[in-house]
Structures are given as structure tokens and as C-alpha cells.
Amino acid sequence: MNVQPYARKWGEVLSTHSSSRRFREIDLLRGIAIVMMVAYHLLFDLWFFGTAAVDVLDGFWRYFALATATLFIALAGLSLPISYERRRQKMTGLSLCFEYGRRGGKVFLFGMLATLATWIFLGEGFIVFGILHLIGFAIITAPFFLRFGRWNLFVGAAIILAAVPIGNLAGPSWLIPLGIPPAGFYSVDYVPIVPWLGVALIGMAIGFLLYPGGRRRFGVPAMEGRGADALCMMGRNSLAIYLLHQPVIVAVLLAARVVTG
């Protein structure tokens, strides 16, 4: 049975930036982010199950997790001007807004499924507003910010700096998405609008700078070889891997515990 057509279709459905004219360097960077994410989550799960005595919430691994999230979100923002230039050739006005709402809503829905799954299996610390919620929100609101083009560099920086005065504030639960959680709040994946939407907007500004008109305006190395091909493949299917890797890791770790007694 040839599964390639089904795999390709699955990737198209779950990709946040599907296009026949992809940029290999973006897929490769997204693939690197995927490897970083899987490595961190593997270590986190080993720590969570008491298998590895590593502090994944502080020190080097905390900054590693922040770097991974930053790369993911910046690349999501960078891809938005590219897709915008291609889509506005076919649609305008409300139809373009609805398209971004549909695509962002799909990613946000996957985030809500992650919320449900972690609420069922984790209870305390379940995902409330994680990276998928943030990326979905960034896509939904993209039509508003895309009009600012390269000026999003300053808009994004302002949102990041806004985290300084509100960083120590506590508030009601409905302010959790904005970065003002209740006192004692904890979540295994918390990526609030302030400051992380700022990272997406800076990525958007970089997209306008490096890919004006949706076209690459700089040279890149060939990036050939099996390693680069594997990273690009993972980058093209990043959302599918994001959704599936944690259940696979947990299942393997639980099976290993049963086998080893």
C-alpha cells in the first residue's frame, strides 16, 4: 500500500504554511526547532516520571526551552508575510480575513485539544494558553498587523517590553492569555500574548525584510544531504509532529517501565 499520498495530504492539512513554493531554509530551521522541542520534551518526561534527575525548569534547560519556543514563534511570524503576498493575489478584504481566521482557528483548536488532553492526564499544570494557542491567535490577528509591514519590528518590541511592568502582576483567570495569571498559577506550556505575540511580530517584520513580495532576495547554500532533507521534511510537517510526539514519547516511556518492572 502506497502511503505517500496520504502522508502528503496529512502534512498539507496540518501545516501552518502550506504552499507549492516553499523556501527550504525556512523548512530546515523549523525542522531544527522540532528536534530541539522533541529533545526537551523527552528530557522533561524523563524528569516528570522520575527517571532522570535533571532540573528541566531552571538553568540551561530553561533557556533551551525558551530558545526553542522563540524559534518556533518567530518562524511562524516570518511565514505570514510570505503567505499574505501569495494569498492577496487571489482574495482581498473580508475573504482574506476569513481565510486567516479559518487557518488560525484550526491551529487554536489543536491548542484546545492539547488543553483537554493535559487536563485529563495531568490535572494540575495543564495547558491553558500554550504555543499552539499563541500561534493560532497570531494567525487570526495577522490581517491587522500585516498592514504595518517592517514597522512590526517596533510593535513587536513594544509588546515584549510590556512584559516588564506586568511580569509580576496577578489577576483573574480571564487575563491568563494576556500574561497576567492568578497568584500561584502553573502550566507546563504557558505562552501568553505578552510578550510572545511580540516575537511573532518581529518574525513578521523579518519576513517583510528578507522576503519582500513573498520572494527570497538573498542567496542560500544548497543544503543538500540526508540530514538536511530529514530536517526539511520535519519542518514541512511540524504541526503534525508537535501533536503526535508527546503521546509517542509517553507511551514508549510507560512501556519501558512495564518491561523493566
What is residue 182's DSSP assignment? P
Residue that the C-alpha cell 525556512 belongs to: 26
Residue that the C-alpha cell 505570514 belongs to: 80
Q: CA–CA separation, 167 vs 159, rounded Å?
A: 12
Q: Give just the sign of the alpha carbon dihedral 93, 97, 102, 107.
A: positive
Contact 14, 8 (CB under 8 A): no
Q: What is the pLDDT along the chain (261 residues), one digit of tens a residue?
A: 443 443 344 343 333 443 447 899 999 999 999 999 999 999 999 998 888 888 898 999 999 999 999 999 999 999 999 999 888 877 777 888 999 999 999 999 999 999 999 999 888 899 999 999 999 999 999 999 999 999 999 999 999 999 999 988 999 999 999 999 999 999 999 999 999 999 999 999 999 999 999 999 888 887 889 999 999 999 999 999 999 999 999 899 888 888 876
Q: CA–CA separation, 59 vs 65, rounded Å?
A: 10
Q: CA–CA separation, 167 vs 194, rounded Å?
A: 9
